[in-house]
Structure formats: structure tokens, C-alpha cells
A = this chain, B = another copy of it.
Amino acid sequence: MQITEDTYMQRALELAAQAGGYCYPNPKVGCVIVKDGKIISEGYHKKYGEYHAERMAILNSKESVENSEVYVTLEPCSHTGKQPPCVDLLIESKVKRVIIANADPDTKVNGKGIEKLKDSGIEVHLGILNDKAYQLNEDYFYHRINQVPYVVGKIATSIDGKTSTFNKKSQWITNEKSRQYSHYLRSRYQAIMVGASTFNEDNPKLNVRINDGKDYYNPIKIIVTSSGKINLNHDLFKERSNNIIICTTPKIDFQQETKLNQMGCTVLKIPENDQGQVDIKLMLKELGNRNIVSIYLEGGSTLLESFIKLDLLQKLFVFMGNQILGGLNNGIINSNIYPEISTSPSFVLNQVRTFENNVMLDYYTQNYYEQLKKQLCLPV
């Protein structure tokens, strides 16, 4: 095999991916140090607050990194956050060349890292495997560019697009393997979101339950409840937790709010929209300000419908069972809002997976995909 720049960057990407969700709200970054045509060290950003990828790789190295080539999936930071700037360390370490997949759109970095490296005489090469690297941190890029979370809808439907039987039975439309994969996806996003009725009716744990002995990131739980009326005796509240966010309106009962605060939840009072419900756009803005990078939106259909109607999804996962359920009022969008096929919400197929007789369809929303193409300079 010929060792090329792509090969080293591919390895750096594999390292980056190992962080899973643990580095949120930071991006997943991997780093490979090459000297005399050999990888002499590797590192990745394991967890928020811990060492960045470049520092890890430099610290891991058993020999001097002077004059080495450093492959890093994202532009090294030039500012002091939880960690001192990586750029300074690279300069101090007298590396020869830094090969970067993506520039960092974060206003605190945004080309400044690259500039500083160049200014100190280090050769910089930008753009190797930039598309793959972009996809690895799509949610991070989206958040840094738009200041709102990247939102991924997830639906489980029958072949005929029903989310339950007509009398609202929905367990289980999809099979065990589909559900395990859906749990895996939960671990790939920073937060999971459900509506109040789903929460109250299903008593969901909203955690990652995969029985393979491995360790998975458990997302922050967000419950959207316009009235604030959610069942505080539910399983989710059994353990005191600081990773629950309640998005509600000023209508919430004062006692309920106090109890939620006491239990360690964060209560966000978002202004109401015309219908007296949580204003979804303002909610996303608030969550974005609080560094929520991505949301896996699991239901219910009313909340998902709002996101689709307002074109606030970037991605949609459709898990399709293998029955026809029939009936009215148990579809994904039951209101008559799209009179024309050409103007109804349209999606770009990214991937298909099968789980025995089930299918998973992985879509981008058309509007987000148009943005993505421009960002990645994909053929239009």
C-alpha cells in the first residue's frame, strides 16, 4: 500500500471518532505525527476539558517531534480555553509541517490558528479529506456557523408511514436490532429531546442501552413542555441529575419549577408562540447559546411535526418496521399543510441500512444538504 497524505489523515479521523460523544460541545479531533515516513505518535481529544488531540499526540511521542509532520483533522486552536492553545505547543515543538483537514469556523479560531503557524515558519496544508472530516463533526460545524443546535429527527414507522396503530399502540414497530442501532445513534449526539406527552405516556429513560459491554456516551436529556406539566415521579427523575433540561414557557407552575430546580434540572423558560406553545426557534437559539451542539429528536409526532413544518431539521432517520398498520390520525404529519408535491418538504437520501426485515433510511433535509454541498464544494 502506498502511504499518502490521505492514509495518515484517515488514521487521524479514525482516532477522532473514538471520542464518541464524550468531547461535546467540543469537536472530535484526531492527530497523527509522522517522521521519516513513519507514524511516531497518535492522539485524540478524548473528553471535554481534557487534552486536545495535538497535545495528546505530542505527549504520547517517545521521540522528539522536531521536524515532524503533524496530521490533524481540525485547525489547531490559537486561544486559551479549558486548555492552552495547541498552536503554541506546535511552534514550541518545532514541527515542520501541519496538515489539516478542516479550518475551524469557531470565531475564536477561524483561520487564526493557521495564520499563526504560518507566521512562525511552519508549512501548512489545508483540505486533505476535508469532506470526511466535515461529516465527522457536522453538528459542531453547524452549531459554530449558525449558533443553534444541529437537529436530527428520528421516526419509527410502519411500511405505510404510521407511528402507531390507530388506537396508539406503538410497541414495537421496529425489531430489536433496529432499536439497538437507534440507541447507538443516541450516543452520537450531544442531547436527546422528547415532547411532554411522549415523556408522560411512555416514561422513557432516554439513556443508551446497548448490551455489548462497551462504554457509550449518554446524551443530555431535554424535555419540551409548554405547560410545564410533566410527571416528576417518572424513572428519569429517580436519580438526581444535572443533565436534564426542561424547555418550558413562563406558564410553568412556580412549585413545579422549584421542584425541578431542586432535583438538579435546568429549567429554561422560553417565550410562547401564537399558539401558547414553546417557540421552537427561540428554544433552539437558547440551547445554542448554552453550547448544545446537537439534538437527537425522538418524538413525539407533534414535536417532530413542528420541526418539519418550520424546516428546523438537518437530518432524518426513518426506521421502518415491516407491517402495514393502516388507520387515520397516526401518521407523521396529520394536518393538511402540503397541497403540492413540489413544495412539500423534500429529503436527500444519504444511506440505507437493513436490520433483518427492517430498513433504516438516513436522509438529509434538502435545504441543509444545499448548504452542505456549498460548504464541502460538492458537485452541484
Contacts and interface: CB of A to CB of B under 8 A. Distances in A.
Interface of A: 157-162, 165-167, 169-173, 308, 316, 318, 320, 322-329, 331-341, 344-349, 352, 354, 356-359, 361, 363
A356 B347 CA distance: 11
Contact of A323 (B165, B329, B346): B346
A128 to B, nearest CB: 29
Given A322-B349, A349-B358, A334 B341 contact: no
Contacts of A322: 346-349, 363
Given A162-B161, A166-B336, A341-B172, A347 B323 contact: yes
B339 A167 contact: yes
A68 to B, nearest CB: 43
A318 B225 CA distance: 37
A45 B376 CA distance: 53
Given A344-B324, A346-B323, A357-B348, A160 B159 contact: no
A325 B160 CA distance: 13
A328 B347 CA distance: 21
Main secondary structure of the interface of A (DSSP, over half): loop
Contacts of A345: 323-324
Contact of A160 (B171, B172, B331, B335): B331
Given A159-B318, A349-B356, A334 B327 contact: yes
A331 B324 CA distance: 11
A326 B335 contact: yes
Given A161-B158, A161-B161, A161-B162, A333 B338 contact: no
26 contacts: A157-B161, A159-B347, A160-B332, A162-B331, A165-B338, A165-B339, A165-B340, A166-B338, A167-B336, A167-B339, A170-B341, A172-B341, A322-B363, A323-B344, A323-B345, A324-B332, A324-B338, A326-B331, A326-B334, A326-B336, A326-B338, A327-B331, A327-B333, A327-B336, A331-B331, A347-B357
